[in-house]
Amino acid sequence: MPSSLSVAANARLGANAGENLSAQFSVQAQFSIQAGAEPGVMPRVMELFAKRGLVPDFWHSAVSGAALSIEIRVAGVERDTVDYIARCARQIVGVDTVLTASD
């Protein structure tokens, strides 16, 4: 019969194993978005992250003439979520290109 100490230790190990498994499927994602320099583009892009409770680790945007370039990095996101955010960003009016990378 296992002691309560060993049951508690196994429960902790099980919890840690779940965290480790979850960490294996989460990635640091990078998004590179090219769009027209329109005022509504940036809040619409940010909304895609906010709706999912994600705060980007890095956000840089720059305007050059009529073009808007946005670079975003966010950690701890699942690969499926990265793909979904990219698909949604491509549907935003004014967005021309969305590229992603993850590690």
pLDDT at 25 (0 to 100): 72
Q: For residue 7, is it within any domain?
A: no
**Domain with 67 in it:** 27-102
pLDDT at 19 (0 to 100): 47
What CATH number did the domain enclosing 52 receive?
3.30.70.260
How many angstroms from the chain centroid is the CA of residue 28? 7
Q: For residue 62, is it within any domain?
A: yes
**What total number of domains does the chain contain?**
1
Q: For residue 71, is it within any domain?
A: yes
CA distance 9 to 83: 37
Sheet holding 58-64, edge to edge: 58-64, 67-78, 26-36, 95-102
Q: Is 64 exposed, middle or buried (0-12, 13-18, 19+ CB in 10 A)?
A: exposed
Q: Which of 6-15, 27-36, 42-51, 59-68 has the lowest mean pLDDT?
A: 6-15
Q: For residue 14, is it within any domain?
A: no
pLDDT at 57 (0 to 100): 96
Q: For residue 17, is it within any domain?
A: no
Which whole number is the average pLDDT over 44-69?
A: 97
Q: For residue 18, is it within any domain?
A: no
Q: For residue 20, is it within any domain?
A: no
Which whole number is the average pLDDT over 56-62?
A: 97
pLDDT at 86 (0 to 100): 98
